[in-house]
Structure 1
Amino acid sequence: MMNWNRPPYRKSGDVELAGDAHLLYPSMMESPALRWAFVRKIYAILSIQMLLTIAVSAAVISVKPISQFFVSSSAGLGLYIFLLFLPFLVMCPLYYYYQHHPVNLILLGLFTLSISFCVGLTCAFTEGKVILESAILTAVAVVSFTLYTFWAAKRGQDFSFLGPFLFAAVMILIVFAIIQAFFPMGRISTMIYGGLASLIFCGYIIYDTDNLIKRYGYDEYVWAAVALYLDIINLFLSLLTLFRAVDS
């Protein structure tokens, strides 16, 4: 469970924060330089994760024997199932070692690689037009909601209230997916699922960006990167599901 307690911050009496044009949010009681450095660190890690995901996915899509191995043999199917569960397995040691450098970064890399292979395999059996549409819309949504959250936070808005609603929405989404798996309800149902999931993960981008700005401690950079990375990947996969249903 994440620790939302802030690290010891400098008081406003120690440094003139009120007139600082670089404050991330009005009630900020820490040095803006420290928080901006933390934000830059998170987005640097996130950029590397996204580049790794793009590279692995492109390799899986372009090298046909890779995707064929996963679908044409029992060993490939077993490896695919293992890769699906690997991120959950990595999360356990990652939670324990998230403050231990460089073990935390190695585990984060393994976590990213396993998800990247799954994304690549999903894209390998999807039309290029659908992948491009989903990727462009994901990029536009991420940039737009990130800029909006920074703008809104600086004007005093807080998005922590979204947490319980988004969690409840994800639980409903999981139940919806289980029902759909056992009792398929057709293309319209898949479109509804993809659309709802896309909206939910757009909300998570705002929520986790707000946490990044205000609540994550400086030693929680791994968790912050994981949260935003999963938001982006899930948004992309949700849009992929939606556009595939529309295109079919």
Structure 2
Amino acid sequence: MTSKIDSPPSYEDALHHPKYGDYPQQPQHGSSLPPPPSYSPSPGMYPGPPGYWGQDDVYRQTGMWAAPGFSPSTVPTTIPTLSAGVPASNPGEMEDFLSTQWESTSIRHAFIRKVYLILAAQIAVTFSVVAVFTFVEPVKLFVITYPGIYWASLVVYFVVYCILICCKEPRRRFPWNLVLLGIFTVALSYMSGAISSYYETKAVFVAMGITAVVCIAVTIFCFQTKVDFTSCGGFLSIAAILLMIIGIVTAIVLSFQYVPWLHMLYAAIGAIIYTLFLVYNTQLLIGNRELAISPEEYIYGALSLYVDVVHIFLFILQVSGAATE
């Protein structure tokens, strides 16, 4: 604490008795105030209070940025703005950005059309073969009599599928991938026809109709929904492994003629899992999700969708065939 003697004087004492320290003299009533100093800011200069930096009456342009570690040469001359990632001060770059977006969208649409054209041709071939194997009795008997052709088509299907998966990029000199895709389509079509020949015509028609409805509904859902299924790749992989394990267990159990309804349950689970795969691959094709395939990989896009559709048909055929029996 300070004593009363050391405390500062009151306003009246400081005003009438200047002996109390170096307190500034206050102007008397009636005296005129000195005029404020005049200044004329130059272009690019910011006016400020007099004496803020030394004797200058203006802010220097680099003065407000003066600090240790900052040089006057690094002073920004414009204030940056954000407008879709392009500076608003340059409208030409904005037009280039929008044109680039439009070109990428048109490329994606052309890619989708190409994939679905290839897919439509594959499905047409497959269901034509299934129809021949179902309605033409000599062909049905031939397939049932010689099952070795079915196993040969299964080997061709597996080998060509592995080649197409490993070589997704299209060839420029000769469309080898298209040729392999045609061989793959014929092999899988023969497998589908051979399996269909063991079922009644009614069951085959029911399976075709349900497959068509499911595929159309899934396609419309994928183009309209905002839910991203491309982030569920790990879940689908686990589901595929479980489906394979359930298939092996079902084959062992049915060989001893236990639990006859287990085959229908396995087919229903398989149809659901491959429907989810169809959703996943369709959203990869669309390209506005977390993951997408390149527009150059149209062979891979058509291949993945075609395999999903055919497997959905085969699983639903097993369910409808068991139901009709």
Q: TM-score range by the shorter chain?
A: 0.7 to 0.9
8 A Cα contact 1:97 1:103, kept in partner: no
Q: Residues of 2 paired with 1:17 and 1:169: CA distance?
A: 42
- Per-residue Cα deviation, 1:62-90 (whole angstroms, up to 9, x for no partner): 33233322332xxx222211111211111
Cα distance, 1:98–1:77 mapped onto 2, change above 3 Å: farther
Name the % identity.
30
Q: 1:61 pairs with 130, 134, 137, which one?
A: 134
Q: Residues of 1 paired with 2:123 and 2:243: CA distance?
A: 25
CA RMSD of aligned residues (A): 2.2
Q: Residues of 1 paired with 2:305 and 2:140: CA distance?
A: 27
8 A Cα contact 1:38 1:218, kept in partner: yes
Q: 2:121 pairs with 41, 48, 67, which one?
A: 48
8 A Cα contact 2:268 2:319, kept in partner: yes
Is residue 119 from structure 1 mapped to residue 192 from structure 2 by the alignment?
A: yes
Residue identity matched to 1:125: Y
3-state DSSP of counterpart to 1:85: helix
Cα distance, 1:162–1:79 mapped onto 2, change above 3 Å: same
Q: 1:222 pairs with 271, 282, 299, which one?
A: 299
Is residue 80 from structure 1 mapped to residue 157 from structure 2 by the alignment?
A: no
Show structure 1 runs of 5+ residues with no match. Answer: 1-10, 19-27
Q: Residues of 2 paired with 1:230 and 1:198: CA distance?
A: 12
Q: Residues of 1 paired with 2:178 and 2:274: CA distance?
A: 25
Cα distance, 1:205–1:33 mapped onto 2, change above 3 Å: same
More helix by share: 1
Q: Residues of 2 paired with 1:228 and 1:106: CA distance?
A: 18
Q: Residues of 2 paired with 1:60 and 1:130: CA distance?
A: 14
| Alpha-carbon distance, 1:223 to partner | 0.7
Q: Which residue of 1 aligns with 2:314?
A: 237
Q: Which residue of 1 aligns with 2:71?
A: none
Residue identity matched to 1:66: V
8 A Cα contact 2:240 2:273, kept in partner: yes
Q: 1:109 pairs with 182, 186, 190, which one?
A: 182
Q: How does 1:13-162 map to 2 (within 5 A)?
A: 13=94, 14-16=96-98, 31-72=104-145, 76-94=146-164, 95-96=166-167, 98-100=169-171, 101-152=174-225, 155=226, 157-162=227-232
Residue identity matched to 1:224: G
Cα distance, 1:105–1:125 mapped onto 2, change above 3 Å: same
Tell me: higher relative CO, structure 1 or 2? Use CA pairs within 8 A at least 6 residues apart: 1
Cα distance, 1:213–1:142 mapped onto 2, change above 3 Å: same
Residue identity matched to 2:135: S
8 A Cα contact 1:209 1:228, kept in partner: yes
Q: Residues of 1 paired with 2:160 and 2:105: CA distance?
A: 33
Residue identity matched to 1:158: D
Q: 2:272 pairs with 199, 210, 220, which one?
A: 199
| Alpha-carbon distance, 1:97 to partner | 6.8
Show structure 2 runs of 5+ residues with no match. Answer: 1-84, 87-93
| Alpha-carbon distance, 1:163 to partner | 1.4
Q: Residues of 2 paired with 1:56 and 1:244: CA distance?
A: 19
Cα distance, 1:92–1:166 mapped onto 2, change above 3 Å: closer
Residue identity matched to 1:239: I
| Count of residue pairs the alignment pairs up | 223
Q: 1:167 pairs with 226, 237, 259, which one?
A: 237
TM-score w.r.t. length of structure 1? 0.83
| Alpha-carbon distance, 1:122 to partner | 1.2
Moved more, 181-190 or 114-123: 181-190
- Per-residue Cα deviation, 1:201-243 (whole angstroms, up to 9, x for no partner): 1111110000001111122111110100011111111111112
TM-score w.r.t. length of structure 2? 0.64
Q: Which residue of 2 aligns with 1:25?
A: none
8 A Cα contact 2:168 2:297, kept in partner: no
3-state DSSP of counterpart to 1:61: helix
- Per-residue Cα deviation, 1:171-193 (whole angstroms, up to 9, x for no partner): 11111111111221433211211
Residue identity matched to 2:98: E
